[in-house]
A and B are shown apart, each in its own frame.
Chain A
Amino acid sequence: MKKIRNILLAMPIVLMLVNIYLIFLVAPTDINLGHIQRIFYLHVPTALLSFVVFFTVAGLSVSYLINKNKAVDRLSQALAEVGLVYVTLALITGSIWAKPVWGVWWTWEPRLTTTLILWFIYVAYVMVRSYTADTNRGSKFAAVLGIVGGINVPIVYYSVMLRSIHPGPVIGDETKLPDSMLWVLVFSLITFGVVLLALVKERHFTLYADQVISDHKLRRQQKSII
């Protein structure tokens, strides 16, 4: 069991090293932006995967509010936390990319503003769980926030259609991305996806163990009272 766990943990590290090789030594340099465009292979996968994660969290939150299944709630929490790390990365890398290209670290344009709102929703999600004394109530509040976050995802995605200076989607029918860049991006997406799954798996285990320990302590207290 431990051997399988080690392999699962080693896989993202190996993929990440190959990914770095592809990004810096294989992907061509953008003719207009230069080397700074390589942030793209970090910024786009983290942003896209965080959107997928928040959609999943919304679905799991609906399921939790209907069935009150604790396993679903734990998975939702693990996903939301890792999603928050990813969307934070997307915001930071986007800001670093914006400075040399747009001349500013931040601008209140639709894509950036809606992403920041999404970030605040998930910060609230994590805080509600941490600061609510009653865990069941905390889970309920978090589920509601998870649904609100999920509703915000399409708004973030389509916000580029409003008066936005942010580039539009790069994957799809209208893509103008050359193949040499596209396949590095796809590999990067797979890599960050595997890293995400590994982090979610580990976080889910800690949440499960936490639950087992607190249930055990509760049973012991009840026994001692009787």
Chain B
Amino acid sequence: MYMFLLQANLPSNLGYLSAAYFVAWIMLFGYLIFIAKKRRSLEITLENIKNEDKEL
């Protein structure tokens, strides 16, 4: 915190900095959501298969 405030007179480019971290978080979360959705639908399909097998 101390370092951050002490050197506040340097060129900040905070817009670019926040853009980089924002893009990174969006991409990682986007991919995580894609996997989580896929996992959920596969778990449902597996459950259905198990139930169908029991009925047979």
Contact = CB atoms under 8 A, between A and B. Distances in A.
A210 interface: yes
Most B CB contacts (10 A, CB to CB) among A36, A42, A97, A202 go to A36
Contact of B49 (A29, A82, A206, A216): A216
A42 B49 contact: no
Question: Is chain B's binding surface mostly helix, strand, loop or mixed?
Answer: helix
A93 B46 CA distance: 39
Contact of A35 (B12, B24, B35): B12
Interface residues of A, number: 38
Interface string A191-209: 0000100010011011001
Contacts of A100: 11, 13, 16
A42 B42 contact: no
B32 to A, nearest CB: 7
Interface in B14-52: 14, 16-17, 19-21, 23-24, 27-28, 31-32, 35-36, 38-39, 42-43, 45-46, 49
